Amino acid sequence: MTQFNDTQLTAAVVDSFEDTPNPRVKFLLQELVKSLHDYVRKTDLTFEEWEYAIDFLTRTGQKCTLIRQEFILLSDVLGVSMLVDAVNHREREGATETTVLGPFYVGKHKQMPHGTDISANLTGERMFVQSRVTDLKGKPLAGVPVDVWHADDDGFYDSQKPSYAAEGPSSRARFVTDADGRFFFRTILPCSYPIPTDGPVGEMILQTRRHPMRPAHVHFLVDAPGYEPLITHVFIDGDKYLDSDVVFGVKDDLIAKIEKRSDPVMPDGKPAAGPWHLMTYEFHMKPGQGTAPLPLGFKETEDA
């Protein structure tokens, strides 16, 4: 039987994938082996540490459900999600910056009329969001579906709540841009919130003395035909966690100044029940192709 030392073993495992038919799969597996083996050598990984890692990954998988993806959360807090995003969007050419999808996108959202209050049953300071979708030259893009979603005033997404199955979606919807590329809706002002800390990822964050907080934001997924799908957040200017987002998702161009208003009516001409906030943001789309992602385990026939 052939015997290997710690460097010969790596070469043997890499060579074992030499006949892989798909060249990209072959490349990915061989590079993965090299990186993993390098990590083991550099750290002198012990049996106890290796067993802990296997147990951690096992528990991460066991925490996943159809509406919770603990592995995505792990990828986010290790900066892998943002790194994958960065290497796939190196040249933005004036297009709106991208950021992570996050673990709380539940797939295709229900289309609603412009001006809908998507957080009508929630407490919180009221906010009006007005936005526009254009190409890189400022030409409006009509008929573009835009999915929006965000956390409530307590920092929870609807899908995190036990009542989600019975009560359905809240603070998430799909809007379709009008002839001038515009869409608008009412909601509540998002707050900063912690990622879930009741699983192995949260355990890792707390044990390593990192805070689990994300700055306040609204998610947007803009899927215009003939353009690259845009997955991004719009962050609230002034949030104290903008410089220390636990998933490293903040970019300067994605921070919006929110105006506090006392006008008796909102921009759609309908009455305001009291003071409110105005978010204004314009999305610039990059020409290209692509398919908007679906969360793991999601079936395309479902509506959320």
**For residue 293, how far is the Cα from the chain centroid?**
11
Token digits of residue 16: 């074992």
* 134/198 Cα distance (integer angstroms): 41
Tens-level pLDDT at each residue, the chain (304 residues): 567 787 789 999 999 999 999 999 999 999 999 999 999 999 999 999 999 999 999 999 999 987 788 999 999 999 999 999 999 998 888 999 999 988 788 777 899 999 999 998 899 999 999 999 999 999 999 999 999 999 998 888 888 877 665 567 889 999 999 999 999 999 999 999 999 999 999 999 999 999 999 999 999 999 999 999 999 999 999 999 999 999 999 999 999 999 999 999 999 999 998 999 999 999 999 999 887 766 555 444 344 4
pLDDT at 234: 98
pLDDT at 301: 38
**For residue 256, how far is the Cα from the chain centroid?**
18
CA torsion sign for 262, 266, 255, 218 is positive
Catalytic choice (150, 217, 233, 284) = 217
CATH architecture of the domain 93-284 equals Sandwich (2.60)
Is 211 noted as a catalytic residue in this protein?
A: no
**For residue 209, how far is the Cα from the chain centroid?**
23
pLDDT at 162: 72
Catalytic choice (109, 126, 157, 284) = 157
pTM for the predicted model, two decimal places: 0.89
Catalytic choice (132, 150, 193, 284) = 193
Is 105 noted as a catalytic residue in this protein?
A: no
User: Residue 194, CB half-sphere, CA atoms under 13 Å: how many?
Assistant: 12
pLDDT at 304: 46
Is 157 noted as a catalytic residue in this protein?
A: yes
Catalytic choice (214, 227, 233, 284) = 214
Strands 213-214 and 217-222: unpaired
pLDDT at 27: 98
Catalytic choice (126, 150, 219, 233) = 219
pLDDT at 300: 46
Instruction: Identify whether the C-beta of residue 137 lies closer than 8 Å to the C-beta of residue 285.
Output: no
